[in-house]
Amino acid sequence: MKACNVEIERASIFDMYKIVRMALSYHKDDPKSQEILSNPLKSFLYKLLGPLYVRSTLTSLKVAVQGKIAGYILIKRRDHSLHVWDLVVDPEFRGQGIGESLMKFAEKHAENRHRYVTLAVMEDNLPAMRLYRKLGYENLQFSPVCYHLKVDKETERSSKLVDLEPISGEASIRSRSKHFSNILSAVIGPGKCETIQLLYPLPSKVRRKTEYFTISESGREVGHVSIKHRKELASIFLFIDPSIWSTNTEKEAIMKVIEKAHLRSERVEICVIQAYKKSLEGVLRDENCVTERRPSRLALIKKLK
C-alpha cells in the first residue's frame, strides 16, 4: 500500500524487534524508557517480550527504504477513536514526508469506523508538534501539567476563607468530574468538553494511599483535590472552580492544599489540567513558591470529516 509515494506495510514479528529498539532509543529521555534502560533485567525482558506484546495488542505499520525501517506507526482502535500509540521516523530519513504519510495512512485506516484520531506528544517535541498542527490536530487543554514546588515555611498561614473536607468513594468521583467539566467548559466550551469526556473518560475508581478533599468556601464547594504521598514526595492534583479564579479565595485554597501536603512530605508537586495552568502559575508567582515545570505529554485530537 502506498501513501504520498511511500510504501507502507504491516510490520512482521522480526520487524518488531527492530521497532522496539528504535522506540527505546528515540524515547530515551522519557522517564519510562529511562527506567527500563537503567535496569539490565527490565531492558532484557522488554527487548525480548515487548515485540510480542506490541504485535498482539497494536496494529504495527512500517516504512522500509532499501531494507531498513525508515519509520513506523503503532495504532490501536478504541471505542470512539483510533489512537496513535507511537510514531517514529529514523533521523536519517527525516524531512522526506514519512511522518506525514504515516499519519495520513492512519487517518485513512480510521475512516468509516471512527470519527476521531487521538495521540499524545511531548510538548517540547517541536517538529512533531508542527506536523500535527499542520494536519489539523487540536490541543483541548485537558492534559496534566505538573510543577515541582519549593515551599517557604514563612508563607504558611491559617486560612480563614476555605476549608478542606475529607471525601471518599463515589462522592469524590462525582466532585472531581464536576470541577473537571466546569474548568474545561469555561476555557474551551461545553461542546469540546463533551468530546473529551467521550474519548478520555476519567477513572471511575479512587486510588489507594490517596487522600481526597473538597474545597469549600462558606459551605459552598469550590474545588476538589487529591494528595498522594510516595516516599518523600507528595503529589497534588487540583481542580479549582472557575467562579473563584483570580480571587483571594483561590489563593487561600491553593496555599492551604500545599501546606496540607507539606505537613507529611518535604517535596511537593502540584498537577492541574492545562486549562487551569495560567491561573495557578499566577498564584505560585505571587506567593513566591519556587517552581520547576516538567515538560508535559499533550493529548491531541482530530475530528475526521
- pLDDT at residue 238, rounded to an integer: 98
Q: Are 301 and 184 in contact (CB under 8 A)?
A: no
pTM of this structure: 0.89
Quickly tell me which residue has 495488542 as its cell. Answer: 57
pLDDT in tens, 145-159: 999 998 765 555 566
pLDDT single digits (tens) 274-285: 999 999 999 999
Q: Select 2-114's CATH number: 3.40.50.1820, 3.40.718.10, 3.40.630.30, 3.30.470.10.
A: 3.40.630.30
User: Tens digits of per-residue pLDDT, 31-52?
Assistant: 778 888 889 998 888 889 989 9
- Angle among Cα 97, 143, 114 to the nearest 5 degrees reads 60
* Res 31: pLDDT: 76
pLDDT in tens, 182-239: 999 999 999 999 999 999 998 888 888 899 999 999 999 999 999 999 888 999 999 9
Where is average pLDDT lowest: 17-26, 128-137, 147-156? Answer: 147-156
Intrachain domains 2-114 and 144-295 with the same fold: yes
Is the distance from CB of 294 to CB of 261 less than 8 angstroms?
A: no
Asked whether the beta carbons of 117 and 304 are under 8 A apart, the reply is yes
Q: Are 276 and 243 in contact (CB under 8 A)?
A: no
Stretch 65-90: mean pLDDT: 94
144-295 architecture in CATH? 3-Layer(aba) Sandwich (3.40)
Q: Where are the domains of the chain?
A: 2-114, 144-295
